[in-house]
Amino acid sequence: MRFIKSLFKLRLKMDLAFRVDVFFNFFTQLVYLIGILLLFRVIYLNVSEIGGFTLGDVYVLLGTYFILIEVYNMTFRGGILSLPETVKGGNLEIYLLKPVNTIAFIL
């Protein structure tokens, strides 16, 4: 858990280096979330439940999904996904030779 917390802090510091990008990313995610919530609201105007799921159940499911996606993006985005390209490009030794924690540096 401590490792995940340190990855989260590191990703937050890296993201806050570009504050305007963070603002626009937050804004687009907010618009996307509102759009999804409105979509399901419109769908549930005509029916009370779909497959046993009420509107509240769908909101809980969507909230859980968005929280998990954001935690994943804050901890592993970029590092794990770019690891194969780092190995193929021959740049892994650059990370291995630096006097820092390699796992945290790559991620």
User: How many of the other CB atoms lie within 10 Å of CB of 21?
Assistant: 11
pLDDT tens track for 49-67: 999 999 999 999 999 998 8
How far is the C-alpha of 5 from the C-alpha of 105, rounded, in Å? 14
How far is the C-alpha of 44 from the C-alpha of 58, rounded, in Å? 10
- 95 close to 102: Cβ distance less than 8 angstroms: yes
In the numeric block, which tokens belong to residue 91?
A: 């740049």
Q: Which residues of the chain have pLDDT under 50?
A: none
- 86 close to 95: Cβ distance less than 8 angstroms: yes
Say which residue the tokens 């804050």 belong to: 74
Radius of gyration of the chain (CA): 19
pTM of the shown model: 0.58
Helix axes 19-43, 2-16, angle to 10 degrees: 110
pLDDT at residue 88, rounded to an integer? 77
